[in-house]
Amino acid sequence: MPDRVEVRKTYKLYLGGEFVRSESGRSYQPAADVNIPRGSRKDLRDAVRVARGAFAGWAGKTAMNRGQVLYRAAEMLDGRRQQFIAELGGGRRAGREVDAAVEAFIWYAGWTDKLAQVAGTVNPVAGPYFNFTIPEPTGVVGVVAPDEPALAGLVLRIAPALAGGNTVVALASEKSPLPALTLGEVLATSDFPPGVVNVLTGFRKELLPWLASHMDVNAIDASGCSREELTAVEEAAAANVKRVVKPNGRRARLTPQAVTDLMEMKTVWHPIGV
């Protein structure tokens, strides 16, 4: 008999700011001792619905406010550093991965109120008009996380999407879903309004086609897709002219392009005159 019986955690989807089981009631076992919710098409549709509902509020927050929330996510993640290292299998490499994820939240937090100054322009048109171009969020973004690195790979993609003012429906790695679900707990305590970011687990083949073809998803970051998955995603994405961020063969890195890839440029004209 052990001295202390461990209180185990039930892993749940993070959806609409709540921790829920799959509506399907199903689970799967990527490792012997853990049951992971096997999200369904209905869960995915629910996630898109709440993400759409949260979009106007999140996009409408001041850039500074979004930066504060993302920075808080870095604080929460750093505070759970040991837990994540354990979930990632321990060791120096796991430590570096958690640090990279923390750094991503901090770095993109800083971009929220700087991006428009780097990516926007005032355009000297040949006429009496004031004309400027500013980045705006694309809308609801689907994020497909890579299997490896399971935590940093996900954070390096949701952080820029959120920094730009998008709301996110993320599909965790099917093979290593634990860090993504625990990340949900970090996100839940970081002042993200409910629905701004949602994390689903389950079988890629059951979820990805519906995410890619969903008519209310504006963009999909497919960096975590295999070659075959990418082709299918790109084909399905055409249904509503989704923007598709493709894997570029390199490990994700910190770049403002990761933010602008998920933003639209809006140009405004106004006459100048008395």
Which residues contact another protein (rule: CB under 8 A)? 121, 123-127, 129, 131, 133, 138-139, 218, 227, 230-235, 237-241, 243, 246, 257, 264-271
**Beta strand 27-28 with 219-221: parallel, antiparallel or unpaired?**
unpaired
Instruction: Give the end-to-end CA distance of the chain in Å, rounded to a whole number.
Output: 87
Q: Which is nearer to another protein, 197 or 237 (by Cβ)?
A: 237
Nearer to another protein, 77 or 220 (CB): 220
Give 123's DSSP letter: -
**How far is residue 41 from each of residues 46, 203, 220, 267, measured CA to CA in Å?**
9, 10, 17, 37
Which residue, 27 or 133, is less far from another protein as judged by CB?
A: 133
- Cβ proximity to another protein: between 82 and 240 the closer is 240
The residue (of 82 and 231) whose beta carbon lies closer to another protein is 231
The nearest distance, CB 185 to another protein, in angstroms, is 33
Q: How far is the CB of 243 from another protein (least distance, A)?
A: 5
Could you tell me the smallest distance in angstroms from the CB atom of residue 66 to another protein?
Answer: 15
Residue 75: C-alpha distances to residues 137, 229, 233, 273 (Å): 25, 34, 34, 50
Closest distance of CB 84 from another protein, Å: 30
Coil, strand or helix at 267: strand
Q: Rounded to the nearest whole angstrom, what is the least distance from the CB of residue 103 to another protein in the complex?
A: 19
Taking residue 72's Cβ as centre, other Cβ atoms within 10 Å add up to 18
Residue 84 or 111: which CB sits closer to another protein? 111
Continuous segment of H or E residues that includes residue 181: helix 178-188
Q: Is 125 helix (H, G, I), strand (E, B) or coil?
A: coil
CB of 125 to another protein, least distance (A): 4
Task: Calculate the CA 267 to chain-centre distance.
Answer: 26
